[in-house]
Structure 1
Amino acid sequence: MEAIDTLIHARWVIPVEPAGTVLEDFSLAVRDGRIVDLLPAAAARARYQAATVVELPEHALIPGLVNAHTHAAMSLFRGLADDLPLMEWLGKHIWPAESRWVRAEFVRDGTLLAVAEMLRGGTTCFNDMYFFPDEAAFAATQAHIRAVVGLILIDFPTAWAGNAEDYLHKGLEVHDQLRHNPLLHTAFAPHAPYTVSDAPLERVSVLAEELDIPVHMHVHETAHEVQQSLAERGERPLARLHRLGLVSPRLLAVHMTQVEEEDLRLLAEAGASVAHCPESNLKLASGFCPVQRLADAGINVALGTDGAASNNDLDLLGEMRTAALLAKGVAGDATAVSAADALRMATLNGARALGLEEEIGSLVPGKAADAVAVRLSDLETEPVYHPLSQLVYANVRDRVSDVWVAGRHVLKEGVLTTLDAPALVARAREWGRRIGAANSGR
């Protein structure tokens, strides 16, 4: 028998590739953090001798979820300013709070809280955009979660950097520090067209090409953003980004609630991706991303939660359900964004948007062993006619029992193995007392 590290036997395996496939009584064989085989359980028991055997007789095993857009540290602002439109939420509440509180310690603690929440919900990779990206990288390393760390860029000074040149200089230093870490990658993260001027964006276009890393940016989040750009510049934000050389296969355009035919053409011809954040868009009344139209145009659509300050959770399983239901309503078509489509958006499409599709996003031999076990035996999910549909339409993140990142068992029977959950809660409460007391005195 062949020796391996881990053998996972599951009632169902949903590998994402081939699309819509559900394998019954299958097993995943793992060695040195990678998938070496996916085969029927009986054959696996006969072929492999594993140091660790995991039995999941009531579970679906799926690829680790990829959260394609987060502001992880903003978990410490969860619930601070709710039920407000985007620009009022930002200008009157979030930006002032960030100016007062965001420092290295805040980002480290907020990101640790976020990654703990994400791991418990089945997310094994997140794409972040925030200040002090070095601290976000530290938190991800401590948690043993895969991350794409955003090299933030914005025109105005913050505690992280004083000007565009400073943001880029510090971002490149972070990139150099992380380039040999197999779990950490980087992306340029200019905040939005309305907060970054032309010259820094042109520099990002050149640097992204040289370093071959993604560009992660809010684009067409609201109608106001588009109208403002037309009034001030005479062009839509996406057209401006195209003129500056940023619309390419590296671009991950976040939100895209305002889409015209020319926008579809630009994205499709360039091979750019879109990160859809349905719950945040709904909560801020930002608009509706036309996901099925994008998909029909051949545009890769990934799924993100946005930050917990505007969602207010980092639950990508819940986001899948919302995305599928909302897409049907927006398209006026019950067949739009099927359960299989929604799962692909949250896994392989996210990996592709981040340039990681050869490494993660599906349970395929040769890829990293990022996997999630979801229990489908509770009364709320029985009977199970179609496991994939049940996973998307009748499931909640509390049923995630086990999570592996690069073969490491980071959530075991519901318990985090790399982080101290009670300590994280205590730190979050302390931040809440400090921020809440200051906020109430405004």
Structure 2
Amino acid sequence: MKRKSLFALSAAIVAVVGAVAALAPVLWSGLDALHIGEALAAGPTDEANLIKRGEYLARAGDCFACHTVRGGKLFAGGLAMATPFGTLYTPNITPDDQYGIGKWSADDFYRAMHTGHSKDGSLLYPAFPFASYTKVTRADVDALYAFLRSVPPANVPSRPHELRFPFSNRNLLIGWRTLFFREGEFAPDPTKSVEWNRGAYLVDGLGHCAMCHTSINMVGGPVNSAAFGGGLIPLQNWYAPSLTSGEGGLGDWDIKDIVSLLRTGVSQRGVVFGPMADVVHNSLQYLSDEDIRAMATYLKTLPQKSEAPETTQMETSEAFGGELLQQGEKIYRDQCAKCHADNGLGMPPNYPPLANNQSIQMHSAVNPIRMVLNGGYPPSTDRNPRPYGMPPFAQSLSNQEVAAVVTFIRMSWGNKGRPVSPQQVAELRSAPLD
């Protein structure tokens, strides 16, 4: 066995934001892309409408998921975010005067979103993705602020972070900000359509999709030269695929399939699992049809870029890979063909195709290994309330058998993946399910 180059996955402080990819909508109704700020600033003045719009933004931005602990009070914070440098805890953002943002002004809130400074001037850790939020318009930030001011205050103290020294020293963030943070609201591209600009605003702003789909370097910053080039999500043991190449790029997808995947979690081309399933369930299914299509339009046009550094990958010898392929074919016929068909074409959208499935043949085999081990369901959404799922095989298949069947599906029907080693399976067998 030999190991390939190690993917620099240290960037703990940007490690969790759910994924991946929840988005910040504003209803444009065909606004001229050159006058985004002016048009949004002239939006509804009625307080009820403003709060409703802010709720839409909060839901689409996945604020609920990060700032609400299961079984806890809405937006009271306390969600643990494990990182290689320690554990961060999300803060209370209810209008409680003592522990929340009750004494924050609209300017205080905008400064946090736009510059990454708290009310007292302290630097915020980039697990709060202000590097993306800085692009969000003042009108949208004000609407979000109005909504948060309308929720019941929760008298729950924010739990202090548990970071190891020297990472507990916020002054170190000055260097990070110098290297990786550029303040400034979204500037539309006048050469692109209104719909494309809308999608860019959603994806690159409150959506912060790049936080999962862009690899990070040893100092915790994004590798901007490989933006959307994919990478392993730190400590979650899921691989966010490249959106700029054949690995997971959407350039050859029909818009309707991208829209379906984002809206419902399933499409004729594949389904979402893991962190992205949470994003669809908690956020994307609530977006308007216009916003989803705008995002799909933008994502489909992402340019080809350099790929993320390769993840650590255990390689098998050619001979052993051949043995795994033969063993995996029998396991597939016995265990998988009933749903995914002998030819790997499946029965989409309920049973996704494995043939010509980009997520199956990525360099990293993390995702298909985890699916065989743990099974899972696409998200339950309004337009797909009872999704078909996949059973787990961790109890019935050994590490070598899992490696064999994953090797088979990665190398059959024209797929161009490489063999999977039993050691890779062993490493993921005990990985957390969330």
Q: Same fold judged by TM-score > 0.5?
A: no
Computing the radius of gyration over CA atoms, which structure comes out larger, 1 or 2?
2
Structure number with higher relative contact order (C-alpha < 8 Å, ≥ 6 residues apart): 1
TM-score with structure 1 setting the length: 0.29
